[in-house]
């Protein structure tokens, strides 16, 4: 392995090859996953500063038969970007590839390297008078390369789509160390197979995304946020239908939050002052982005909420009067995951269900889990506008698991996952909506993925990465 380490140092410079040889070097930031479920051990952490350096690292690892774990901001939730415990894998950190290479105002595109932090891209676009609409809770630390590798979703998918829908072109280093320059800003190109979409969502198992050309949009003239109390999930779905009718393409966010999820925010972050949560089973957060004016957006909201109140779809509602109030409402929504962590370890699910089936799915699955594990607490929230729920399961507050969430995970996680995933399959949904598969769900995928689709995926992996060096054990077992 010394020969490989020397080759890596030659490729990127000795200062950018970190190993455990130096006792003062702490690699835990690269070896531990975001949720602190897994602690790996890397042979080395390599930090290339350019695409040719990435290619040189891949060629050196391929020659040595050493597998590579690509990593961006390491904010993933499915243990897909940290090394295993063997001490034989190279972590390839892309955070030094952080340049915005170009912004084409006429073409409404921005080309950036994979290590660019998402929030920095949003701010770069805004300074130029444009909107880059991808928005995630981790946007201050996640990178656009990781967003593309997992096809991240976020809060504005209902209007703009997933990361895949925002990408026009890619630059990729293949498993053989070749550089594919596909950084096209074209919206129409029918000259063969769509390689771009092959690499997006592949979680680094087919190649390494080093740069991308992304779509931009005009900044809206106004953005308004409303918070509504709804008596049921059926009412939330009905409100979504009204919102589509009244707001059209202006509907850019539609989030649902269960009462228990909001109660955790209220319990652990009292300063946030969660509105309406204690008087209703669910709350909905809506965003209206208008191209005309704030007055027009507010009038649309008023008509929408008036009709929703008349129909009994909404029991109470507030519209943010300022940007600060709107940000506060979004902060409440984005604090649910943090509040869950404060409450203790939990079993997370990132699932998608046809919107029309979500009320029935939740009613049946809630009852099933309560019957199988009495007292279990359900933290249900997510992007109802696109059918994506974070259907999480918290240990009972009393009984054998009270104060011992570690035991709950150890003894019940596999059982709970099977119960939930079987229900997802029955309702023709997906066990991973926006977080990816990683290693956390890789063993589950064969039970819930169409067998022909799975066989095709294995053939693609074999064709593009015959040595199985690109993030092995992720997505496909």
* pLDDT number for residue 37: 83
13-72, pLDDT tens digit by residue?
999 999 999 888 899 999 999 988 889 999 999 999 999 999 999 999 999 999 999 999
Statement to judge: residues 200 and 235 lie in one domain: no
Statement to judge: residues 213 and 109 lie in one domain: yes
Statement to judge: residues 134 and 199 lie in one domain: yes
Question: Low-confidence residues of the chain, pLDDT below 70?
Answer: none
All residues at 6 or more sequence positions from 102 whose CB lies less than 8 Å from its CB, including other chains? 109, 110, 111
Domain boundary, last residue among 171, 193, 218: 218
Statement to judge: residues 379 and 421 lie in one domain: yes
* pLDDT number for residue 315: 96
* Angstrom distance (rounded) from CA 350 to CA 433: 6
Tell whether 267 is covered by a domain.
yes
* Angstrom distance (rounded) from CA 140 to CA 150: 17
Which CATH number do you get for residue 272?
3.30.70.2190
Tokens 């105002």 -> residue: 105
Statement to judge: residues 110 and 199 lie in one domain: yes
Statement to judge: residues 239 and 308 lie in one domain: yes
Tokens 């996953």 -> residue: 33
Tell whether 468 is covered by a domain.
no
The single-letter DSSP state of residue 32 is B
Statement to judge: residues 106 and 214 lie in one domain: yes
Tell whether 285 is covered by a domain.
yes
Statement to judge: residues 296 and 351 lie in one domain: no
Which CATH number do you get for residue 28?
3.30.43.10
* Angstrom distance (rounded) from CA 258 to CA 380: 5
Length of the chain: 477
All residues at 6 or more sequence positions from 70 whose CB lies less than 8 Å from its CB, including other chains? 81, 92, 94, 145, 149, 204, 208, 470, 471
Helix orientation angle between 294-310 and 233-247, rounded to the nearest 10 degrees: 140
Tokens of 188: 């129409």
Residues 308-328: b if buried by 16+ CB within 10 A, e if exposed: beeeebbbebebbeeeeebeb
Domain count, the chain: 4
Tell whether 67 is covered by a domain.
yes
Sign of the alpha-carbon dihedral angle for 369, 371, 377, 378: positive
Tell whether 369 is covered by a domain.
yes
Pair 37, 438: CB distance under 8 Å: no
Query: 255 is in which domain, residue-wise?
Result: 222-337
Which CATH number do you get for residue 143?
3.30.465.10
Statement to judge: residues 205 and 285 lie in one domain: no
The single-letter DSSP state of residue 220 is P
Statement to judge: residues 353 and 307 lie in one domain: no
* Angstrom distance (rounded) from CA 140 to CA 402: 34
* Angstrom distance (rounded) from CA 410 to CA 98: 39
Domain boundary, last residue among 183, 201, 218: 218
Statement to judge: residues 296 and 240 lie in one domain: yes
Statement to judge: residues 254 and 169 lie in one domain: no
* pLDDT number for residue 230: 98
**Helical ranges in 187-226 per DSSP H:** 195-199
């Amino acid at each position: 392995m010394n020969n490989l380490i020397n080759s890596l140092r030659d490729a990127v410079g000795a200062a950018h090859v970190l190993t455990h040889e130096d006792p003062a070097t702490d690699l835990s930031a690269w070896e531990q996953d975001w949720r602190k479920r897994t602690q790996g051990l890397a042979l080395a952490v390599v930090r290339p500063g350019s695409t040719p350096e990435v290619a040189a690292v891949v060629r050196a690892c391929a020659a040595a038969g050493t597998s590579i774990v690509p990593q961006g901001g390491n904010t993933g939730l499915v243990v897909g970007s940290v090394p295993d415990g063997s001490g034989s894998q190279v972590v390839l950190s892309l955070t030094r590839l952080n340049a915005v290479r170009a912004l084409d105002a006429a073409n409404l595109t921005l080309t950036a390297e994979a290590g660019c932090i998402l929030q920095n891209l949003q701010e770069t676009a805004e300074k130029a008078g444009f909107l880059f609409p991808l928005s995630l809770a981790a946007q201050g630390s996640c990178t656009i390369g990781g967003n593309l590798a997992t096809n991240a979703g976020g809060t504005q998918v209902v209007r703009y789509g997933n990361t895949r829908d925002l990408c026009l072109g890619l630059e990729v280093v293949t498993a053989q160390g070749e550089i594919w320059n596909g950084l096209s800003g074209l919206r129409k190109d029918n000259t063969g197979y769509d390689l771009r979409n092959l690499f997006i969502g592949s979680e680094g198992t087919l190649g390494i995304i080093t740069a991308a050309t992304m779509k931009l949009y005009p900044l809206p003239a106004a953005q308004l946020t409303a918070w509504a109390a709804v008596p049921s999930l059926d009412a939330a779905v009905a409100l979504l239908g009204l919102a589509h009718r009244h707001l059209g393409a202006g509907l850019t966010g539609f989030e649902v939050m269960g009462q228990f999820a909001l109660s955790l925010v209220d319990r652990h972050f009292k300063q946030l002052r969660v509105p309406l949560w204690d008087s209703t089973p669910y709350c909905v957060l809506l965003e209206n982005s208008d191209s005309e004016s704030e007055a027009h957006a507010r009038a649309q909201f008023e008509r929408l909420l008036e009709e929703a109140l008349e129909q009994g779809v909404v029991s109470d509602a507030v519209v943010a009067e300022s940007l600060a109030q709107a940000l506060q409402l979004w902060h409440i929504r984005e604090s649910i995951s943090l509040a869950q962590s404060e409450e203790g370890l939990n079993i997370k699910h990132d699932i998608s269900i046809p919107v029309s089936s979500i009320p029935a799915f939740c009613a049946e699955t809630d009852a099933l889990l309560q019957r199988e594990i009495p007292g279990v607490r359900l933290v249900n929230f997510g992007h109802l506008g696109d059918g994506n729920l974070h259907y999480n399961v918290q240990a009972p507050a009393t009984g054998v698991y009270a104060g011992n969430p570690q035991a709950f995970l150890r003894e019940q996680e596999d059982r709970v996952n099977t119960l939930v995933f079987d229900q997802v399959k029955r309702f023709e949904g997906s066990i991973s909506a926006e977080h990816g598969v990683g290693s956390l769900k890789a063993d589950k995928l064969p039970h819930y993925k169409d067998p022909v689709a799975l066989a095709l995926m294995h053939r693609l992996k074999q064709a593009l990465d015959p040595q199985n060096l690109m993030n092995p054990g992720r997505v496909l077992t």
